[in-house]
């Protein structure tokens, strides 16, 4: 808990952990509850030290081999690997001592023999397994949720309910980003096993009357000519007499609907990639089908947090799984300059989803990019992405369509990297004449 709180409210470890603030450390029940004195926030360094001490104690005390629905020795070791990786610095300025510690604990989990990576076929339905399912061999620790305690409202306000509407349940208002879809399709559309967790919603799909369409992303500019956003454009495909393709796009010009015909240029017929010269700029797009839209956004549903045991949004949040251990090894070996072991472990995960598509080598120039990409692909929707960017000193960019500010870039040194302490907590401290320092 100290670790999770600190990564939300404390700055990345590589940024002056001795002086940056983490969270208050309170061990045990205070002796005098009537005259309670609570400490202000400890440093990030001391907060991480407390998390490590707690995890090591748990590692020593837990000696029963239980299922992934329970905390175990290996669950503590998996978390220790993650904590030390967060402390291992950036690729440019690594802390190899902490990288070694992350490697040590990741290998302990792997070499325990208690977990196996799911094969490709089972991984593509990973979301359907409960933590105690006999076919589920990869999850180390998950917070088990059961159907009998999962009410109707949970199907809306649980994680999966935000990502999809399944069997009439869920809001289905947060979709896979264009960037994530692009990463999935790098080696060919639908070839990456992780594509199984993304379920596009098509017009007419229930009646088997889907409509062929061309879809691309256009740049959006303001009146001054500055780019302000990105938007999807989709239009039904039409065929010329020679078999080539074109689309007709209708837009408002001076308050009137104006329809313009655009010819499509074939780029890769097998993969369905074409280009369009739209308003003086050439864009790459895809031949697919007309998608259902929420406002202007195609509804790419995410099933990764839904469909446990076949129920719409039943989901047991995963705290740790074996795939992460291999990714931790890849990152920490790379930070030590051991690129042979880094690529070996990275390819364990990559080739599970993309057989025969492993990286041939890693080096100082490409390791950070490729390892980060595989973490983004593999751990998507598991609450790791922004932390992965910031702890390595990166800049969060979201240059794709959505309700966010698509042109904004947030550096790891930005004040917005950390959350504000909830005002209720500040007030609670003040009510007993104690101080809880707010983030700037």
Q: Which residues pair with 200 in a beta bridge?
A: 300
CA distances from residue 86 to 44, 79, 294, 391 in whole angstroms, order as listed: 12, 11, 37, 6
Beta bridge partners of 44: none
Can you name the residues that pair with 172 across neighbouring β-strands?
none
CATH architecture of 2-117+318-393: Alpha Horseshoe (1.25)
**Series of mean pLDDT values for 10-residue runs along the chain (440 residues):** 97 98 92 87 98 97 95 98 98 98 98 98 97 95 91 85 94 97 96 98 92 98 96 98 97 91 97 97 98 96 96 95 98 98 98 97 97 98 97 98 96 97 94 94
* Among 341, 321, 320, CA closest to 332: 341
pLDDT of 244 reads: 97
What burial class does residue 193 get, using C-beta atoms within 10 Å of its C-beta: 0-12 exposed, 13-18 middle, 19+ buried?
buried
Pairing of strands 281-289, 293-294: unpaired
Closest CA to 321 of 48, 98, 129: 129
What per-residue confidence (pLDDT) applies to 149?
Answer: 84
pLDDT score at 151: 79
Retrieve residue 321's tokens.
Answer: 């799984």
Do 376 and 385 form a contact (C-beta atoms < 8 A)?
yes
Q: What is the pLDDT of residue 33?
A: 83
Confidence (pLDDT) at 35: 84
* Burial class for 257, CB neighbours closer than 10 Å (0-12, 13-18, 19+): exposed
Quote the Cα angle for 262-265-268, to 5°: 140
In tens, the pLDDT along 191-200 reads: 999 999 999 9
**Domain boundaries of the chain, sorted by first residue:** 2-117+318-393, 126-196+302-310, 206-291
The model's pTM: 0.95
Q: How far is residue 325's CA from residue 346's CA, in Å, rounded to a whole number?
A: 10
CB-based contacts of 227: which residues, under 8 Å, 6+ apart? 219, 220, 221, 407
**First CA to last CA across the chain, in angstroms?**
23
């Amino acid at each position: 808990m100290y670790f999770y709180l600190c990564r939300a409210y404390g700055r990345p470890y590589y940024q002056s952990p001795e002086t940056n603030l983490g969270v208050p450390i309170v061990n045990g029940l205070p002796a005098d509850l009537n005259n309670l004195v609570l400490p202000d926030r400890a440093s990030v360094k001391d907060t991480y030290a407390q998390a490590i001490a707690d995890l090591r104690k748990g590692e020593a005390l837990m000696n029963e081999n239980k299922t992934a629905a329970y905390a175990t020795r290996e669950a503590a070791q998996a978390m220790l690997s993650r904590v030390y990786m967060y402390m291992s610095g950036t690729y440019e300025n690594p802390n190899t001592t902490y990288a070694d510690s992350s490697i040590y604990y990741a290998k302990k989990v792997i070499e325990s023999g208690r977990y196996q990576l799911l094969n490709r076929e089972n991984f593509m339905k990973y979301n359907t397994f409960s933590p105690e399912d006999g076919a589920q061999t990869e999850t180390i620790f998950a917070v088990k949720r059961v159907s009998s305690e999962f009410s109707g409202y949970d199907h809306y306000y649980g994680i999966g309910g935000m990502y999809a509407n399944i069997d009439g349940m869920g809001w289905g208002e947060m979709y896979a980003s264009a960037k994530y879809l692009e990463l999935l399709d790098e080696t060919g559309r639908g070839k990456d096993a992780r594509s199984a967790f993304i379920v596009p919603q098509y017009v007419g799909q229930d009646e088997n009357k889907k409509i062929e369409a061309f879809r691309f992303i256009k740049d959006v500019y303001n009146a001054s000519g500055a780019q302000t956003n990105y938007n999807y454009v989709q239009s039904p495909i039409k065929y010329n007499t020679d078999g080539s393709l074109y689309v007709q796009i209708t837009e408002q010009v001076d308050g009137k609907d104006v329809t313009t015909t655009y010819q499509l240029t074939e780029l890769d017929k097998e993969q369905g990639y074409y280009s369009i010269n739209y308003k003086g700029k050439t864009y790459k797009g895809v031949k697919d089908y007309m998608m259902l839209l929420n406002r202007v956004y195609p509804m790419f549903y995410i099933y990764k947090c839904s469909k446990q045991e076949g129920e719409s949004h039943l989901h047991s949040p995963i705290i740790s799984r074996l795939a992460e251990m291999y990714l931790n090894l890849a990152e920490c070996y790379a930070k030590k300059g051991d690129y042979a072991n880094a690529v070996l472990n990275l390819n364990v995960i990559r080739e599970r989803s993309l057989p025969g598509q492993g990286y041939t080598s890693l080096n100082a120039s490409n390791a950070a990019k490729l390892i980060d990409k595989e973490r983004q692909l593999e751990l998507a929707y598991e609450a790791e992405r922004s932390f992965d960017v910031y702890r390595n000193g990166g800049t969060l960019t979201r240059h794709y369509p959505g309700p966010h500010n698509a042109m904004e870039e947030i550096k790891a040194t930005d004040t917005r990297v950390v959350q504000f302490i909830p005002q209720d907590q500040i007030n609670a401290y003040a009510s007993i004449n104690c101080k809880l320092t707010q983030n700037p």
